[in-house]
Structure formats: structure tokens, C-alpha cells
Structure 1
Amino acid sequence: MRALLAWLTGVAALLSVGLVALPPSAAPASATAPAPDCGAAWVGAWRTSPQPGSGADVAGRTLRMIATPQATGTELRIRVSNRFGASPLQVGSASVGLAGAGAELVSGSGRPVTFDGAPGVVVPPGAEWASDPVTFVAERGRAVAVSLFVPTAPALVSVHPVALTTSYVSEPGSVVDDPSGAAFTRPVTSWSVLSGLDVLTPRTEHAVVLVGDSITDGVGATAGTRWSDALAERLTGALTMPVLNAGISANQLVAGVSGPPPAQRYATDVADVPGATDVVLHIGTNDLAAGRSAGEVTAGLAGYADRARADGHRVFLTTITPSNAGAHGLATAQRDAVNRWLRTEGAAHADGVFDFAAAVADPSDPTRLAAAYDSGDGLHLSPAGYRALAGAVDVGRLTGSPCLAEDAAQVRASAAR
């Protein structure tokens, strides 16, 4: 790892003398156009899709949000969201450092974060804001701590409730620079205000965004066992891609339930994410349980896929996983109809269809989950079930990051020294 960091530092030195062109810091890289000559480029390294939550929980306090980037590079940007606020969101100051034990920072790792050169930012209602680039070595798979002092907040702030990661909220006041974590007395299992991390990678990388409901969000999983985590483990070498999780529990495809539906969050989930080239959409079970018809769901899937492909993204649809739980069990006939359409006609709208239902169904009764893959509620999957979903993805169909193929030998040689 020391050799790899030394290699990255060398790349940073090349950047500083202008031997590799950097994209303008104020503008994210195009979502679909790789940087020329496989040079340095920004990529979305971590994302979460927010829902509205109480601003009273964060106003006047410092948040220390723990997130794990899925890319390695020499600079980092944070993104803060005020998507649901009816009034401005004030971030008074911010910092980033390597996450240590609990709310602690690794000694000496903290760096201040600025916004357009200022220590804070006022984010307008409905907006998301990116920070200035911070010189900071981010490592794929190593957690960082983003600290945000929020002097005032609107009644509703952006929150993602199912983090499967512990973050922290301080006592009143600004403690963004406190490495000890002593003031962060309230652990939380949600992310607030922070919505994304971008990393400047030495060579162009592409990202894949997983859009969906609680199955993608990972209900029933534990930290590091969502199907997005299992998929990331499979993407190595030239197939390497940051895997960005845009799942929202209880979300629906057609209606705005438990947060905006995928079509309404398409810009922040996909289109505005630097380096995002691929999308996997897994959603529809909650629509069917709520009484939507198979035709409404297939129309929604086709419409989303057509839009994303028209923007130049590779799009993959998935069959809906089985369930015999409550209203989900009563919707079996409609779910079967959607899955028949996906298997026979889905490819006309997408670059491929992954058969998630077949991957986790009970062979003796395909209307329910196999026992080993059931979290216990008949709907959500166990860690083994989520790994089976990741295994159903034909990774060779994804765009990958071809620029890393020629770089792999250099990385291995550097790491060995």
C-alpha cells in the first residue's frame, strides 16, 4: 500500500507541473465522455440517494458522516444536498479526514474543505453543491469522515436512513477540526446533508449506478454486504468501476413514495455524476404490492431505460425478486407478468437484462425466496442472497474502465517494490 501511495504521489507531482491536463475544478467531468488519452479525471466515488428528514436533528451541530469511496486518487470533492429544503441550508465549515475508531480521525489526516474559496456555503432550496477540490489521498475501500457544521437548517434536510454505517452528531457547536471525536456523542445509522464524494483518479475510471428500492438499499444486510458491495468485489482490473448505490427503501418506480421515484432523481443519481456510464435498475416490487398493474411497471421501466440510453448510458434491467410476504405475495401474478416482459422484451429497451428472480428463487416454489437467501421477512435478502444478485450480473457487459488495463502492470510493479 505504501508503494501504491507513493505512485499516486508521483502522479500528483506530474499533475502539478502540467504534464497531465486536469478538468476545470468548477465543472464535473462529463458523465459519458472519458478524458482524452486516459488522463486524470473526476469520477463519482460514493453516492447516496436522500429522502426528506428533520432539520431539527442537525441544526447548530456538527455532523461527522462516515462514507467509503470506491476509487483511489489524489484529490476529493464532497457534495452536500438541500434537495428537500424550503429554505437555504447553511454549512458553516467542513473538513475531511481518514476515519479512525468511532468518531475519531486518523492522526494528521484532517483537511479543511472550502466552497468557491470560502469556508462554508449557503445551499439554495432544492440544490446540491460541490466543494472545491481538496488535496487528499482517497483510497478505494477506506472510510473517510466528512465533518459538516450546520449552523441553521431548513425544516426538512436530505437524509438517507438506511446507511448500514455508523456516523456521528456532535453536541451543539462547530467541532469539524476535532480529531478526537469526543464531542460527537450521538451515533446515528443514517447519512444527513452529505450526498456524494468525487475523486480525481490518475487514470480515467467509469462508474456504475445501482438504482432501486430496499433490495438495492440493502435491508436485511449488514455493513459491507449489500449487493452493491458484492458487485464491487467482482469488478477488478479493466472491469474496475466505482459501484454507486442509489437505492431508497420502500421506493416506487411510478409514484413518489419514500423519496422521489427514479425518474425524478435521475439527474442527481446518474446524469450529473462524473464518470457514470452504466446503470442497473432493480425496482417495481413495491409498485405491484401497492396495486399497480404489470403494464404500469413495464412502461415505467421502459421509459427510464429509454431516457438513460438516449443520454448515452448503458442500461441494464433486472427481473423482480420473488416474495410471498403480505401484499407482495398477493401480487405474484403481476410480478410474473413483469418478469415475462423483461425476459422477452426488456432487451429492446436496455443493453441487457439480469435475471435476479431466477438467481434467488426457491427451486421448488419460484414464487418465494430460497431459504438461504431470505433475511427472514420473505421479501428482503440475506447477505448470501445479495451476493447471489451480484453473481447474476454479467460483468463482461459493463463498460468497465479500459484505461486501467494498460495501467495494471505498472500498479502491480509499484506495489511490489
Structure 2
Amino acid sequence: MWTAVWGTSPQRAGASFAPNWSEAGFSNQTVRQVVRVSAGGVATRVRLSNQYGSTPLKVAGATIARTTSGAAVQPSSLRQLTVRHARSFTIPVGREVATDLVPMRLAALESVTITLYLASPTGPATYHPLALATSYRATGDHRSDVGGAPFTETSSSWYYVSGLDVVGQAKRSTGVVAFGDSITDGAGGTADNRYPDQLAERLASAGRPRAVVNQGISGNRVTVDSAWFGDKAVSRFQRDVLDQPGVGTVIILAGINDLGISEVAANPPFPIFAPFTKVSAKQIIAGQRQLVARARADGLRVIGATLLPIKGSSYYTAASEAKRDAVNHWIRTSAEYDAVVDLDRVMASPTDADQLRPTYDSGDHLHPSDAGYDAMANAIDLNDLG
């Protein structure tokens, strides 16, 4: 059976927090992207998404190879990617396609490079802004180049790639999806140090390698759609969790943007956070309840994570803190989750329980540092993963 061992949540084209290539799209260009798998297998396939494209996406050619450094790849590992045995293929608007099986054995925590040659104008590109990885671009067709010299442009986002699956990882559904917002996405941290990355490393170190897929979107909310920060969690849960192959467990860490953006409407730190919809603790809880029910109906084990401290951040007010406390109390005491990881208490300062521990704070009092993400990963009881 197929198991997702890497993934990222597709989003609409936009400027987001940093310049990127999504709005202009691509034309007679090759884009090369590096991803690290959480677990290995004996063969692989790549999933590509045109979820938010305005026209069918014509892929003139694509390859996969083992990463060496930068945009360079291991020559002997280069393989052509095909769909229905064709090297060029089209992805309809609003759809995702999986390539044919590639007989490439991958190990846990190995990096691979996916290269797409886009000959025709693509229009705005479906992408994921916060890759915390470098993507590369070259003019012309360089899908089969093994060196990185032609790839003179770089970006910190991923384009069109939405998943990488393997066969031979497990005989049953044991994969884990980490579902949430920027704290799952890894904002404030560095490449391959998000908490899902570090959880995968911990599992591999324990001799229990297991698929862990990151489906966080920075700025995402449980209850409110955003042009910039993705469809609300209750809408995208089907695509980003339930439709992922080989998943058996989901960790839900969501709601901080609902309550925080509710409180910064009068003086928003980022106008792109609009709409500034007021959301109550009851609405966040109702949204989480819906996610739990849908996961359970699909046979998944569901782990709830309490919301981290936010004192000192732009989100912090007396009202937002009261909402955070109410949501966390429900997560801890409702018994609706199969297990709870109490990240609020794990991440709190010993001198102020409403604030992040200084060594865990990236500096904005909202997002963890690499040390904080490591603490989050270590707080998860591996036995709770099922």
C-alpha cells in the first residue's frame, strides 16, 4: 500500500510574507525542489497539485533524483517521472495527480530533488509559501541536468508539489499527519527543524521509523477562510488529512489564529490577515469537535495539542488569553481526543505560565525556536501514536 512520507498543504498564489514566484507562474522554465522524507520505502511516486490554478497545468517533463547539495543531484539516481507512462502530462484545474511508480529505494530522513519543466505559461501557481527550504529555477529545459549551475534563481517556497508516497513502508496505516497552522508549518524555525521533522527524527533514532507528514499552513484558522492563508481547517481537513494515503493518526494543533486575529483587528500587524472575523472559544471548540468526529469516522486515532502561550505577542490581550484558557481546558478535560499532548504546559516559562519559555521563543513570543520545536516533538508520547 502507498504511504505518504512527505507532504505540504497547497495554497493559492499570493505574495504572503516574502516575494515568490506563485503569482507570475512559470513559462519555459525549470523549477527544482528539495524535500526530505520522514520514512523510507522500496519505490516512490510524487503527487502534484493544480488545486488553485486558473488553467490546466501542462507539465512538459519531470524528474526525481537523490539530492547531493544545492540544486545538484546524484547522476546515477536520476529518474524520469511519468503519468500513465507519458513524460508530459496535464493536471486539470482543481485536481491533483500522482505519478507512476518509480523503483527508487528511499531511506528515512533522505532528501530527494523533484524537477519540473514547464514549457507553456502556467498562470498563477498553486504553492506552499513557507518551505523553509530552497527551491531553484532555470530558464529552459534542465529537468535532466545533474549539476546545479543553470539554476541561478532561488525561492523559499514549494510549487505544485503536494506529496511524496512510498510502498513498502508498512503493511497497515501507521502514518501520522501533523495538522495545524504556522506552529506546525515551522515559522520561526529553520529547515528540517519543524516539530514534525523532529518527531520523525526521534522515531528513526528510536528504531521505529514512521511516516510523519506536515500539513500546517501559516496563518490558517479553524473557522475562517483566507485568500492568503488557506481554506479553513474544517474545509481542508479532507484533502490534507483524510485523503493522505497510509495515515493512521492525526495530531491537531489549531485555533491560535482564530482567537489572536479576533483581537488584533483594530491594529493588525499584517493587513493580509483579513478578514478580521471575531471568533469565540466556543466556535474554535466546535470546529475541533468537527475535526475529531471526521477523523474518527475515517478510522483515525486523534491526538489533541493544547495551544501554546502567547503573552508578549501581537495576539495577546485579556480576551484572547481567556479564549486560549477555555479552549485548552476543553482539550484537557473533554476526553474527546484519544490522547492529549499538553504543549501549553511544556512550552511555558517557569516564571510566567502565559509566556513561552525564553529558550523556546523565536523572538516574537508566538512561534517557537528550533529548541522549542524540539521540545514539542519530545513531549509527544510515542505510544500515543497508536
Q: Which residue of 2 aligns with 1:351?
A: 338
- The answer to whether the aligner puts 1:196 opposite 2:183 as a matched pair is no
Aligned counterpart, 1:43:
3
Measured in 2, the distance between the counterparts of 1:370 and 1:354 equals 17
Name the CA distance, whole Å, in 2 between partners of 1:152 and 1:278: 40
Specify every segment of 5 or more residues in structure 2 that has no aligned partner in the other structure, as ranges: 14-21, 263-278
Question: 1:161 is matched with which residue?
Answer: 129
Q: What is the distance in 2 between the residues matched to 1:218 and 1:105?
A: 26
Match of 1:341 in 2: 330
2:94 is paired with a residue of what secondary structure? Answer: coil
Aligned to 1:294: 281
Give 3-state SS (helix, strand or coil) of 2:55's partner: coil
Which residue, out of 260, 276, 286, partners 2:231?
Answer: 260
**Which position in structure 2 is the counterpart of 1:143?**
111
Structure 1 range deviating more: 223-232 or 50-59: 50-59
1:65 alignment partner in structure 2: 33
Q: d(CA) in 2 for partners of 1:158 and 1:279?
A: 24
**What letter is aligned with 1:296?**
Q
Alignment match, 1:10: none
Does 1:235 pair with 2:203? yes
Corresponding residue of 1:319: 306
C-alpha displacement at 1:42, in angstroms? 1.8
Please tell me the residue identity of whatever aligns with 1:278. T
Map of 2:51 onto structure 1:
83
Task: Name the CA distance, whole Å, in 1 between partners of 2:170 and 2:373.
Answer: 30
Shift of residue 293, structure 1, vs aligned partner: 0.9
RMSD, aligned α-carbons? 1.5
- Alignment counterpart, residue 180 of structure 1, candidates 132, 136, 147: 147
Q: Given residue 5 of structure 2, which amino acid in structure 1 is its aligned partner? A: A
Per the TM alignment, residue 239 of structure 1 is displaced from its structure 2 partner at its CA by 4.2
Q: Which sections of structure 1, spanning at least 5 residues, go unmatched?
A: 1-40, 400-417
The residue type paired with residue 344 of structure 1 is: T
| Paired position in structure 1 for 2:214 | 245
Look up the match of 2:366: 379
8 Å contact kept, 1:318–1:354: yes
Question: Could you tell me how far apart the structure 1 residues matched to 2:198 and 2:37 are?
Answer: 15
The reply on whether 1:103 has 2:71 as its aligned counterpart is yes
Question: Are 1:308 and 1:315, in contact at CA under 8 Å, matched by a contact in 2?
Answer: yes
- Counterparts of 2:243 and 2:293, CA distance in 1: 17
Which of 255, 267, 276 is 1:284 aligned to?
255
Q: Is the CA contact (8 Å cut-off) linking 2:25 and 2:122 kept in structure 1?
A: no
- Deviation for aligned residue 1:355: 0.4
Cα deviation for residue 263 of structure 1 reads: 2.1
The percentage of counterpart residues that share the same residue type is: 39
- Once residues 59 and 378 of structure 1 are traced to their aligned partners in structure 2, the CA distance between those partners, rounded to angstroms, is 41
Q: Is the 8 A contact 1:290 1:327 kept in 2?
A: no
Which TM-score applies when normalising by structure 2? 0.89
Q: Secondary structure at the match of 1:71?
A: coil
Q: In structure 2, how many angstroms separate the alpha carbons of the residues matched to 1:167 and 1:66? A: 7
Deviation at 1:327, TM superposition (A): 4.2
Provide TM-score, normalisation by structure 1.
0.82
**Is the 8 Å Cα contact of residues 321 and 357 (structure 1) preserved in structure 2?**
yes
- Tell me how far apart the structure 2 counterparts of residues 55 and 70 of structure 1 sit (CA, whole Å): 30
- C-alpha distance in 2, partners of 1:152/1:265? 29
Structure 1 residue 84 displacement after superposition: 0.5
Offset at residue 244 of structure 1 (A): 0.5
- Residues 289-348 of structure 1: per-residue CA shift (max 9 Å, x gap): 122111111111111111111111111111100112444211111111111111111x22
Alignment of 1:20-39 (within 5 A): none
Matching residue's letter, 2:215: A
Preserved CA contact (<8 Å) 1:58 1:169: no
Change (3 A) 1:129 1:55: farther
Report how many residues are paired: 356
Q: Which residue of 1 is the match for residue 273 of structure 2?
A: none
Between the aligned partners of 1:152 and 1:69, the Cα distance in structure 2 is 30
**Aligned partners of 2:63 and 2:79 also within 8 Å:** yes
Q: Compared with structure 1, are the counterparts of its residues 48 and 153 closer, same or farther at alpha carbon in structure 2 (3 Å cutoff)?
A: farther
Q: Return the alpha-carbon distance in structure 1 between the equivalents of residues 249 and 121 of structure 2.
A: 34
- What letter is aligned with 1:255? V
Q: SS state of the match for residue 175, structure 1?
A: coil
1:118 has 2:86 as partner: yes
Post-superposition offset of 1:111: 0.6
Match of 1:411 in 2: none
What are the within-5 Å matches in structure 2 for residues 298-313 of structure 1? 298-313=285-300
The AA in structure 2 aligned to 1:246 is Q
Q: Is the 8 A contact 1:42 1:198 kept in 2?
A: yes
1:242 aligned partner, one-letter code: A
